[in-house]
Amino acid sequence: MSQNNSAMKVVGQSIPRIDAPIKATGKARYTGDMKLPGMLYGKMLFSSVPHASIVRIDVSKALALPGVKDVIVGKDTPGIKFGNWRLFPATQDELPLAIDKVRFIGDAVAAVAAISQDIADEAIGLIEVEYAPLPAVYTIEDSLAAGAPLIHDENKELTNNISLDRKIDVGDVDAAFATADYVREDTVFVHAVSHAYMEPCAVLVEPDTEGRLTIWTSTQTPYIVQCLLASTLAIPENHVRVVKPYIGGGFGGKMELRPWDFCASLLARRTGRPVRFVLTRVEEFEVGRRRHGMKIRSKVAFKKDGTLIAKDFEAYLDGGAYNSMGPTATFLCGNFGAMLYRYPNYRYRGHHVYTNKPPAGAMRGFGAPQALYLSETQMNIAAEELGIDPIELRLKNAMVTGDVIEGVTRISSAGFVESLHKVAEMTNWKEKRASLAPNKGIGIGCYSFISGGVFNWFNTQYNFASCEIRAYSDGTAHLLTMAADIGQGSDTVLRQIMAQDLGLDPEQIRLTAADVTMTPKADLGTWGSRVTLMNGNAVLDATQKMRAELAKMVSLRFNLNVIHEVAFADGRVFAKAQPAKGISFGEAVTMWVKANRGEELVVRGHYTPRDLGLTSPAYSFGAQVAEVEVDPETGVVTVEKVSTAHDCGTVINPLAVEGQLEGAIQMGLGYALCEQFVMRDGKTLNTTFLDYKVPAAEDMPAIASAAIETYEPQGPLGAKEAGEGLAIPTAPAVSDAVWHATGYRCKDLPITPEKILRATGKL
């Protein structure tokens, strides 16, 4: 993409996040902090049974409770289903409130609005629901067994509990296996985990006298919520205004329409008063989305020199009771199974399976942590059995710039080889791998990740990303964007990109984000590590338009030749070859406004990937080494150090990348070692942070990192993602290190002390 040719004075600098002071001082207002005059408090009633027909719902006692203003059930709604955005309308299978049937413990059944939270909580307990229990299934195997109950029997096109299939075919896999010198096949089970964001989901809805709604909600996708909420309420899209306040983390768990968004909206329209819902932590664990648990089988073929020649990959995703984001996850799992290494022959079959459990949705990595856990584990096993160093085996097969997965994607930049060399150097890999002390281990895991999904089947009337820039005579500018900063620091990064290209200081830029009535709505939200690349490109498109307009003013002032190159730096617009011939940014804006009879200088920028493959415009790459010690008596794993070398293209903000890496390692450690849901008959038993264990600050290892700078031609100023990909390699790296220390190779995450002790004969 085009860029400012002046020196990089803003991009590449570790600028603190613009929201840091307000968050650190506790002044940031999240949805749950907001109150409006006359506001009512909402509460949901969730199903207490995993699978049942609804025989009767009696809300009369709840309605009679003083202070209760309204109660709604499924029959009070338009009965319109929602689901996986507009990607796959046929897979939309979820109602805001159940009408005839519930499918998991946590299915929304009714909602109350009252004058206080205590009254709303009491009213929920007065609602009587009579269920006719149905047989339930809780595992992939039971769901697919002969005679299993159909969870969505209303869908006559389904003959079993597989809601959809996805496939990828490249080359001739069977022929390649026939010529292989070494073949291995493995199956792993990877588990569901919680997003564990600090801020529980919340929504506040204010109606106006004309039936329009303003919604403040903790969402990653304001425009998608607007679309789906309007659809389920059966009202015009423009009657719904969605505003994203500060968000206390999302990680994919806040990128869909949820029942409380709908219920708050319907109750607000019915009562004519603002309504707010705030989930409790217990409710988040019981009914919140989670990462897909999967059963994954992979068969790989090598030549005796370690050259990969084929891969046959199959995944069964435990989707829970509804599709949610499962259709996308099912495809992406197969896409990530084909990444990192050159597979000349590749076959993928993915199956999304209904079970009577809470629905799984998008979570950081979105199919990649599961797929690459198996891929990386197999690479480590193969290296051992072929007698090749694990890093050498990867170097032999590593993807490089220009590689193509036929019909899926092409790689426009790749620093994977450089990352492998660097992490080996950082960790003294070969010496440690050969000579560590007893109970010590060192292991490797690698990753590749998308920089925003493309999905050529996405039929949208809007661009993938848009923004608006307004310039003022005082030398400042205003960026309006729908990009949703959910804690990753995108507001700061977008200001850096804009400041760099216009020659401004970031402090001179005001930013307004994520309000569908004020900012350009052409944006699909924050997911798939898309914001830096896609919204950054939209910003550059706008800055280039503004530069063109302001360059005309300098040419007029100094009678420059039209081919004279004009530069933007240090708040000035000037002839690059003759810097003295220039004026301030504000003066240039003043000239433009006068020349255009007082018109405000406003430009819009857009970005939609074109002809860049099916999946993504760009991919990040990286390698990570974990060093562990395992207590032989207790099986407790202590991760002592994690070293990462990664390629995220041009580093826009090193401090932000460092923060993403540290957070990713924390999340990866939880996935590898301790986080898991305890379920019994479809009920989640560990519903607080006391018994759902996430790594704390004291559990964090020493961290070393190195950025491998490449230039991504599709990215803004050469940048690509540095968020989700970093969360992928920790689990396989720790797993490999545990094997190196103990001989135990984990194929069913998480790696617990009990599993290690059993494998080593100590239990």
Model confidence over 412-421: pLDDT tens digits?
999 999 999 9
- Say if CB 369 and CB 190 are below 8 A apart: yes
Q: What is the mean pLDDT of residues 563-576?
A: 90
- Domain membership of residue 509 (yes or no) is yes
Q: What is the mean pLDDT of residues 184-200?
A: 98
- Say if CB 415 and CB 623 are below 8 A apart: no
- Domain membership of residue 187 (yes or no) is no
Q: What is the CATH number of the domain that holds 126?
A: 3.90.1170.50
Per-residue pLDDT for 429 more than 50?
A: yes
Q: Are residues 523 and 500 in the same domain?
A: yes
For every residue of 57-89, DSSP letters joined together read EE-HHHHHSTTEEEEEEGGGS----B-STTT-G
Tell me the C-alpha distance between 449 and 3, whole Å: 24
Counting residues of the chain whose pLDDT is more than 70, the rounded percentage is 97
Residue 220 sits at the vertex; the CA angle it makes with 201 and 269, to the nearest 5 degrees, is 60
Per-residue pLDDT for 5 more than 70?
A: no
Q: Last residue of a domain, which of 576, 607, 638?
A: 607
Q: Are residues 372 and 446 in the same domain?
A: yes
Q: Last residue of a domain, which of 264, 287, 310?
A: 287
Task: Give me the domain span that covers residue 311.
Answer: 293-454+613-759
pLDDT digits (tens, 9 = 90+) for 221-243: 999 999 999 999 999 999 999 99
Q: Are residues 565 and 436 in the same domain?
A: no
Residue 248 sits at the vertex; the CA angle it makes with 242 and 250, to the nearest 5 degrees, is 75
The token duo for 17 is 């996040």
**So what's the pLDDT on residue 89?**
77
Give the residue from 209, 200, 219 showing the smallest Cα distance to 268: 209
Identify any residues that bridge with 447 across adjacent strands, giving them in sequence order: 622
The token duo for 594 is 């006068």
Sign of the torsion angle spanned by Cα atoms 754, 756, 759, 763: negative
Q: Are residues 567 and 465 in the same domain?
A: yes
Q: Are residues 123 and 227 in the same domain?
A: yes
Q: Last residue of a domain, which of 607, 639, 674?
A: 607
Residue 633 sits at the vertex; the CA angle it makes with 733 and 629, to the nearest 5 degrees, is 30
**So what's the pLDDT on residue 609?**
86
Q: Are residues 406 and 271 in the same domain?
A: no
Tell me the C-alpha distance between 593 and 591, whole Å: 6
Per-residue pLDDT for 434 more than 60?
A: yes
- Domain membership of residue 500 (yes or no) is yes
- Domain membership of residue 355 (yes or no) is yes
My answer on whether omega of the bond before 327 falls inside 30° of 0, hence cis, is: no
Task: Give 247's Cβ-side CA count (13 Å radius).
Answer: 30
pLDDT digits (tens, 9 = 90+) for 286-299: 999 999 999 999 99
Tell me the C-alpha distance between 449 and 648, whole Å: 10
Give the residue from 332, 601, 606, 282 showing the smallest Cα distance to 455: 332
Per-residue pLDDT for 4 more than 50?
A: no
Q: What is the mean pLDDT of residues 539-559?
A: 95
Q: Are residues 301 and 266 in the same domain?
A: no
Q: Are residues 738 and 631 in the same domain?
A: yes
Tell me the C-alpha distance between 502 and 243, whole Å: 28
Question: How is residue 697 annotated by DSSP?
Answer: G
Whose structure tokens read 């979570």? 363
Whose structure tokens read 């493309």? 454
pTM, rounded to two decimals: 0.96
- Say if CB 346 and CB 334 are below 8 A apart: no
**So what's the pLDDT on residue 90?**
81
Cβ atoms < 10 Å from Cβ of 14: 11
Backbone angles phi, psi at 183, to 5 degrees: -130, 135
Q: Are residues 280 and 302 in the same domain?
A: no
Per-residue pLDDT for 3 more than 50?
A: no
Cα Dmax for the chain: 86
Q: Are residues 340 and 224 in the same domain?
A: no
Cβ atoms < 10 Å from Cβ of 63: 15
Tell me the C-alpha distance between 389 and 263, whole Å: 57
Cβ atoms < 10 Å from Cβ of 577: 11
Tell me the pairing of strands 346-354 and 162-170.
antiparallel
**So what's the pLDDT on residue 455?**
61
**So what's the pLDDT on residue 87?**
55
Helices of type H across 82-200: 117-126, 140-144, 173-178
Q: What is the mean pLDDT of residues 667-675?
A: 98
Amino acid at the residue 182: Y
- Domain membership of residue 256 (yes or no) is yes
The token duo for 407 is 């019909």
- Say if CB 735 and CB 453 are below 8 A apart: no
Q: What is the CATH number of the domain that holds 516?
A: 3.30.365.10
- Number of domains the chain is built from: 3
**So what's the pLDDT on residue 456?**
47
Tell me the pairing of strands 477-481 and 409-410.
unpaired
Task: Give 358's Cβ-side CA count (13 Å radius).
Answer: 26
Tell me the C-alpha distance between 522 and 223, whole Å: 8
459, with CB counted inside 10 A (0-12, 13-18, 19+), is exposed
Q: Are residues 473 and 597 in the same domain?
A: yes
Backbone angles phi, psi at 354, to 5 degrees: -80, 140
Amino acid at the residue 55: V
- Domain membership of residue 371 (yes or no) is yes
Per-residue pLDDT for 85 more than 90?
A: no
Please list, residue by residue across 618-634, b when 16 or more beta carbons sit within 10 angstroms of its beta carbon and e when fewer do: bbbbbbbbbbbbbeeee
- Domain membership of residue 353 (yes or no) is yes
pLDDT band at 406 (very low <50, low <70, confident <90, very high): confident
Give the SS3 label for residue 291.
coil
Tell me the C-alpha distance between 309 and 529, whole Å: 30
- Domain membership of residue 51 (yes or no) is yes
Q: Are residues 746 and 692 in the same domain?
A: yes
pLDDT digits (tens, 9 = 90+) for 578-634: 999 999 999 999 999 999 999 999 999 999 887 666 689 999 999 999 999 999 999
Whose structure tokens read 């426009």? 412
pLDDT band at 88 (very low <50, low <70, confident <90, very high): low
Backbone angles phi, psi at 727, to 5 degrees: -85, -5
Sheet containing strand 68-73, strands side by side: 68-73, 108-114, 40-46, 275-278, 202-207, 213-217, 240-243
